[in-house]
Chains A and B, each alone.
Chain A
Amino acid sequence: MISLRDVSKSFPGTREPAVRNLSLEIEEGHLVALVGPSGCGKTTTMRMINRLIEPTSGAILVGGKNVLEQDVVQLRRGIGYVIQSIGLLPHRTVRQNITTLPWLLGWDEARITARVSELVEMLDLDPDLLGRYPSELSGGQRQRVGVARALAADPPVMLMDEPFGAVDPIVRERLQDQFLDLQTQIRKTIVFVTHDIDEAIKMADRIVILNAGGVIEQYAPPEEILESPGNDFVKQFVGIDRGLKGLALKESSNVGDVITALRGGRL
Chain B
Amino acid sequence: MNEPFVRWDWIADHVDQVGERLLEHIYLTALAIGIGFVIAFPLALLAYRHRRFYGPIAGVTGILYTIPSLALFAVLQAYTGLSTTTAEIGLVSYTLLILIRNVVSGLDGVPGDVREAARGMGYSPRQILWRVDLPLAAPVIAAGVRIATVTTIGLVTVTALIGKGGLGYFILLGIRGLFPTAALLGSVLSVVLAVVIDGLLIGLQSLLTPWSRAVTARATV
Residues from chain B with a CB closer than 8 A to the CB of A138 are 217, 219-221
Q: How far is the CA of A255 from the CA of B116 in the complex (A)?
A: 48
Shortest Cβ gap from B135 to chain A (Å): 5
Decide if A259 is an interface residue (CB 8 Å cutoff).
no
Query: Which of chain B's residues have a CB closer than 8 A to the CB of A100?
Result: 121
| Contact A87-B111, Cβ < 8 Å, known A52-B120, A77-B121, A101-B121 | yes
- Cβ of B122 and Cβ of A91 under 8 Å apart? no
Q: Which of A81, A90, A92 contacts B120 (CB 8 A)?
A: A81
Are B113 and A86 in contact (CB-based, < 8 A)? yes
Q: Return A98 CB to nearest CB of chain B, in Å.
A: 11
Q: B118 contacts which chain A residues (CB < 8 A)?
A: 87, 89
Say whether, besides A136-B219, A137-B219, A138-B220, A90 and B114 are in contact (CB < 8 Å).
yes
| Interface: B216 (CB within 8 A) | yes
Contact assessment for B124 and A83 in the assembled complex, using a CB-CB cutoff below 8 Å: no
**Chain B interface secondary structure, helix, strand, loop or mixed?**
helix
Q: Are B122 and A86 in contact (CB-based, < 8 A)?
A: no
Is A87 in contact with B214, judged by CB distance below 8 angstroms?
no
Q: How far is the CA of A74 from the CA of B124 in the complex (A)?
A: 9
In the assembled complex, the Cα of A41 lies from the Cα of B135 at a distance in Å of 34
A65 within 8 A of B: no
Instruction: Say whether B217 contacts A136, CB under 8 Å.
Output: yes
Chain B residues with Cβ below 8 Å from A149 are 121
Which B residues lie within 8 Å of A187 (CB)? none
The answer to whether B221 touches A174, judged by C-beta atoms less than 8 angstroms apart, is: yes
Q: Mark B121-149, 1 if CB is under 8 A from A, else 0.
A: 11110010000100110000000000000
On whether the beta carbons of A171 and B221 are closer than 8 Å, the reply is yes
Nearest chain A CB to B129's CB is how many angstroms away?
Answer: 14
Cβ of B1 within 8 Å of any chain A Cβ, yes or no, is: no
Q: Decide if B80 is an interface residue (CB 8 Å cutoff).
A: no
A135 near B117 with CB under 8 A, answer no
Please determine whether A91 and B136 come into contact, CB atoms closer than 8 angstroms.
Answer: yes
- B56-99 contacts to A, CB under 8 A, are none
A100-B121, A135-B211 are known; give 14 further A-B pairs, CB within 8 A.
Answer: A52-B119, A52-B120, A75-B122, A78-B122, A83-B113, A83-B117, A87-B118, A90-B114, A91-B211, A133-B214, A138-B217, A149-B121, A159-B120, A174-B221
Closest 7 CB pairs of A and B: A87-B117, A77-B122, A140-B221, A76-B122, A81-B120, A87-B113, A133-B214
The chain A residues found within 8 Å of chain B, CB to CB, are 50, 52, 73-78, 81, 83, 85-92, 100-101, 104, 129, 132-133, 135-141, 146, 149-150, 159, 171, 174
